[in-house]
């Protein structure tokens, strides 16, 4: 009997949490079942982003050593390289010794297992066609697309379809027709606050390609560092980078690497503010006299370019001529955000300039500056992108406004005819949940924009600002949550089922590791470093892992107000840095508590009780560790809070199981204790607090 499914039939089963021995908390990642139109059940593939249209049958294309791929492309082409990567990854996942020399021979032929075909080479510009059709029968796979970019996207989907049973590996048969909802699907990486070596950029580009992102927004100048070699103005990188910068050859290497993945590279040079590093070598273009030095702290600072100095624009003419030649992307980002006007106000020549040109305020002065920069960029055939603040009436309609302060700026811009990008709600450095990012839509379902205005919303970008990340931790702040953002920007708007997103995200997160990203593996390394040379037995290390997996860093910018002053030289190696931004284990525990409160089954009660018992044991062991290891001393109060939290949870469970209700004084006291437990410890929060809150809320109701 035919069993097929489409997006609209998604109805995932709940995931289960398995608490292992030795106080190890690990979630069971199982396949969710769906109800097919025929009434049969079928497993939902862990595809992310989810395709626009998908129909699968129960038939299977079996994979063995003879699996081969071929198409019209010659060696060295973008698709040829992509197919070679696909075959490497397929071999790596299956352990199969593939017979085809796919690095040298991808000639087409009827015996090829995978046949690819496209009509033209895609350009790395917005609105280029990235669609594809993937058809899988039991003896052949065909991948077709209008451009080679579509072939790249389809190969990622095919690899995600890889499945296994007792007979071996296979691809499920069926047909997928897919296309992106938005043309601009980006990730900003800040290489300025903390420098990101070349290998960090490369591995994240590979991960971006795996989830069909297509723009690397590279933040390359900031108060803390100027990160690109400039041969026209060499003091920029010599004096403004601490020696940590990318040579022009390395920039070209990254651009070619990204191009092979179907990814554009758009540079950002933040002006006129956030510009201290420029003035270390060229103070004559600043609004206040120097000397200047690189900023080690974080925030918004006074140094700003002088818009009244004619030399400023001559400087930028030469600089952007050089950078326009280096970066081939049609867009160049000028930043334009958070401009402090203190030095403008204090400079009498600037004030006289404003009066002479009838510039009423600092916004008008920045608009003057932006128009001059736009004139220069236009001269070098670049389109200007900037943050919200660049918008002023009179700017040409081909600029792009990137919204970071709120969606209203995006809406207002579209209504005035301006193209826009959404980043508000996609700030992944704030350690928010994947759910929050996932449900944040550049064009919400209730949007009042007209169809023509909606076309001006190009898409969005996740933003990885680097105040609190190092090359060791940056991957864990980007992945896997950015995959949820990638789906929001690619998949149909109606694909919004949160629980199924998390089910697929847990699978994709592991698969991303084959691209080299270190979001999962570095956590254990960091915990071993924290343990140092102290004698730590396996049970204690397991307990530390348990605590870190149910803890999260404080949200937003709260780490900056926890008593420590962070600078670009501060260590990012502590317990809080090893925590993931979102604890998927805690999410499952919280859902288990919700399920118990709703159903009151003995099975859920046992699971929850066992979980609390294991967490209590872990808290005692970590408390002991914190007394012996100085760097873990700050974690002791967090472990103590966990002990008290699960004690409240276990007591609540006992009342619920026995159908007894504690006195109002007890409930009030426990709620007060929870408010204390919610306060950050070691710049972390316990992510399982909602589970206990649900139990206490259930006790307030009449017992069943």
Enumerate the domain spans of the chain. Answer: 53-178, 184-515, 521-700
* Mean pLDDT along residues 24-36: 31
Judge whether 367 and 339 are in contact, CB under 8 Å. Answer: no
The pLDDT score that the predictor gives to residue 704 is 47
Q: What is d(CA 341, CA 244) in angstroms, rounded to the nearest whole number?
A: 29
> What are the pLDDT digits (tens) for 242-282?
999 999 999 999 999 999 999 999 999 999 999 999 999 99
The pLDDT score that the predictor gives to residue 4 is 40
Q: Is the pLDDT of residue 32 over 90?
A: no
Between the CA atoms of 640, 645, 647 and 650, what dihedral angle is there, to the nearest 10 degrees? -150
Confidence category of residue 44, pLDDT binned at 50, 70, 90: confident
The pLDDT score that the predictor gives to residue 40 is 31
The pLDDT score that the predictor gives to residue 534 is 76
Q: What is d(CA 698, CA 538) in angstroms, rounded to the nearest whole number?
A: 37
The pLDDT score that the predictor gives to residue 34 is 30
* Mean pLDDT along residues 660-673: 92
At CA 399, angle to CA 395 and CA 400, rounded to 5? Answer: 125
Q: Is the pLDDT of residue 22 over 80?
A: no
Confidence category of residue 175, pLDDT binned at 50, 70, 90: very high
> Would you tell me how many other CB atoms lie within 10 Å of the CB of residue 203?
17
Of 405-419, 457-471, 477-491, 645-659, the least confident? 405-419
Q: Is the pLDDT of residue 6 over 70?
A: no
> What are the pLDDT digits (tens) for 75-93?
889 999 999 999 999 999 9
Confidence category of residue 547, pLDDT binned at 50, 70, 90: very high
Q: Is the peptide bond before 272 cis (omega within 30 degrees of 0)?
A: yes
* Mean pLDDT along residues 470-497: 98
Look at 371 and 702; give whichever has higher pLDDT.
Answer: 371
- Do 53-178 and 184-515 agree at the fold level? no
Task: List CB contacts of 336: < 8 A, sequence separation 6 or more.
Answer: 270, 271, 272, 273, 366, 370, 386, 387, 389, 390
- To the question of domain 184-515 being in CATH 3.20.20.80, the answer is yes
Q: What are phi and psi of 349, to 5 degrees?
A: -65, -40
Judge whether 455 and 180 are in contact, CB under 8 Å. Answer: no
338 is catalytic: yes
Confidence category of residue 37, pLDDT binned at 50, 70, 90: very low
Class of domain 53-178: alpha beta
Percent of the chain predicted with pLDDT > 90:
86
Catalytic residue among 338, 472, 513, 634: 338
Q: Is the pLDDT of residue 9 over 70?
A: no
Q: What is the pLDDT of the chain when averaged over all its residues? A: 92
> What are the pLDDT digits (tens) for 181-230?
999 999 999 999 999 999 999 999 999 999 999 999 999 999 999 999 99
Structure-token pair, residue 65: 């050593």
Q: Is the pLDDT of residue 2 over 60?
A: no
């Amino acid at each position: 009997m035919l069993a097929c499914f489409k997006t609209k039939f998604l109805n995932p089963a709940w995931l289960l949490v398995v608490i292992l021995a030795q106080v190890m908390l690990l979630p069971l990642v199982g396949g969710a079942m769906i109800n097919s139109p025929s009434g049969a059940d079928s497993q939902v593939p862990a595809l992310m982003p989810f395709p626009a249209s998908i129909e699968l049958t129960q038939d299977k294309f079996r994979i063995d050593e003879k699996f081969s791929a071929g198409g019209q492309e010659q060696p060295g082409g973008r698709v040829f390289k992509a197919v070679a990567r696909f075959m490497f990854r397929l071999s790596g996942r299956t352990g199969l010794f593939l017979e085809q020399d796919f690095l040298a021979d991808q000639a087409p032929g009827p015996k090829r297992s995978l046949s690819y075909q496209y009509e033209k080479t895609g350009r790395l510009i917005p609105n280029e066609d990235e669609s594809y059709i993937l058809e899988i029968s039991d003896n052949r796979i065909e991948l077709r697309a209008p451009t080679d970019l579509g072939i790249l996207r389809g190969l990622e989907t095919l690899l995600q379809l890889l499945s296994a049973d007792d007979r071996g590996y296979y691809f499920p048969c069926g047909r997928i027709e897919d296309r992106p909802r938005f043309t601009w699907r980006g990730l900003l990486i800040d290489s300025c606050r903390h420098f990101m070596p070349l290998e960090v950029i490369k591995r994240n580009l590979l991960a971006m390609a795996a989830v069909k992102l297509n723009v690397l927004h590279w933040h390359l100048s900031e108060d803390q560092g100027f990160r690109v070699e400039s041969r026209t103005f060499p003091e920029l990188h010599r004096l403004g980078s601490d020696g940590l910068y990318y040579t022009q050859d390395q920039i070209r290497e990254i651009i070619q690497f990204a191009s092979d993945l179907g990814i554009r590279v758009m540079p950002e040079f933040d002006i006129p503010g956030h510009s201290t590093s420029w003035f270390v070598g060229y103070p004559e273009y600043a609004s206040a006299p120097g000397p200047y030095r690189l900023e080690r702290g974080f925030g918004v600072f006074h140094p700003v370019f002088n818009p009244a100095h004619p030399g400023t624009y001559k400087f930028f003419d030469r600089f952007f001529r050089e950078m326009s030649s280096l970066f081939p992307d049609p867009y160049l980002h000028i930043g334009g955000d958070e401009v402090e006007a203190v030095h403008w106000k204090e400079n009498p020549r600037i004030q006289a300039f404003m009066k002479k040109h009838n510039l009423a305020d600092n916004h008008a002065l920045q608009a003057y500056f932006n128009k001059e920069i736009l004139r220069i960029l236009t001269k070098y055939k670049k389109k200007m992108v900037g943050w919200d603040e660049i918008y002023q009436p009179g700017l040409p309609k081909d600029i792009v406004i990137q919204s970071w302060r709120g969606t209203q700026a995006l809406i207002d811009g579209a209504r005035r005819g301006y193209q826009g990008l959404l980043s508000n709600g996609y700030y992944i450095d704030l350690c928010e949940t994947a759910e929050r990012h996932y449900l944040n839509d550049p064009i919400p379902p209730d949007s009042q924009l007209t169809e023509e205005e909606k076309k001006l919303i190009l898409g969005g970008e996740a933003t990885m600002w680097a105040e609190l990340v190092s090359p060791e931790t940056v991957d864990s702040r980007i992945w896997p949550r950015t995959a949820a953002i990638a789906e929001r920007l690619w998949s149909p708007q109606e694909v919004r089922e949160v629980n199924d997103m998390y089910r697929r995200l847990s699978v994709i997160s592991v698969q991303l590791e084959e691209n080299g990203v270190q979001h999962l593996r570095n956590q254990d390394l960091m915990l071993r470093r924290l343990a140092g040379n102290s004698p730590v037995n396996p049970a204690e290390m397991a307990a530390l892992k348990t605590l870190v997996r149910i803890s999260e860093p404080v949200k937003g910018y709260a780490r900056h107000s926890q008593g420590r002053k962070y600078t670009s030289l501060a260590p990012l190696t502590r317990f809080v840095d090893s925590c993931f931004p979102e604890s998927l284990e805690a999410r499952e525990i919280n859902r288990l508590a919700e399920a118990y409160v709703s159903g009151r089954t003995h099975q859920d009660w046992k699971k929850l009780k066992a979980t609390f018992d294991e967490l209590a044991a872990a808290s005692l062991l970590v408390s002991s560790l914190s007394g012996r290891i100085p760097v873990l001393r700050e974690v002791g109060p967090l472990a103590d809070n966990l002990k008290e939290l699960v004690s409240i949870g276990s007591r609540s469970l006992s009342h619920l199981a026995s159908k007894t209700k504690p006195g109002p004084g007890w409930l009030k006291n426990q709620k007060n204790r929870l408010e204390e437990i919610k306060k950050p410890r070691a710049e972390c929060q316990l992510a399982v607090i909602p589970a206990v809150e649900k139990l206490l809320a259930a006790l307030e109701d009449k017992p069943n």
